[in-house]
Amino acid sequence: MFQVLVHMKLFGNKKMFAIEYEMEQTREFGCGVAELRVFINNKSVCTFMNGDNLYEYQWDIRDTVEWLANDLAIIIKEEKGFPLPVVGSNANELYENSHLETEDDEELDNWYGKRNDWFYHHSWLSSRAGGPLADLVFRRVGNMIEISWDNRELYEEDNVEFVNPVGVFCVEIDYLEKLVTDFVNAFNEDLKNNS
């Protein structure tokens, strides 16, 4: 697919939460193309199989970096929780438990509008720009950020199977904020130098 990369930059601790990346140097596919790896609790959550082949995520990640810089900052400051009266111990459960059956179209529109808006703004999937990026959902829980994912059926039609498809892990806000800031700054500097 893209050139093999050997100078990965690591931010954070893979035992907790870490982001690792390397810019694609030929710029054949654009200046923002990079291999991106995310480790949560020692699991590589963006690594996937396609057929018999194992792949790391390589794509133009500028939108994902922008999402981390902007949307995650909003989530970190967020005080209100999930906007619907459902029970769940993590975002995966909130999603599963927030289905509504009613004959009232207005109630359905209101319910699913709130549900879909919340997940759109808490998942970085909206930043994937067409690539097979794992869906991570970020949610503030007290002084922690919960990161959860359920990618068992994501891109199923493309025969993509994530190596670590489901999980939930919490990290301290300060740790995540510094890690993401360092990553975003390094990527933007590389982008400037790679243009």
pLDDT in tens, 113-167: 999 999 999 999 989 988 999 999 999 999 999 999 999 999 999 999 999 999 9
Q: List the chain domain ranges.
A: 9-194
pLDDT of residue 7: 80
- Whole-angstrom distance, CA of residue 70 vs CA of residue 24: 24
Residue type, 31: C
Q: Does residue 91 register a pLDDT over 50?
A: yes
Share of the chain above pLDDT 70, in %: 94
Q: Which of 44, 48, 22 is nearest to 33 (CA)?
A: 22
- Whole-angstrom distance, CA of residue 96 vs CA of residue 1: 35
- The verdict on pTM exceeding 0.85 is yes
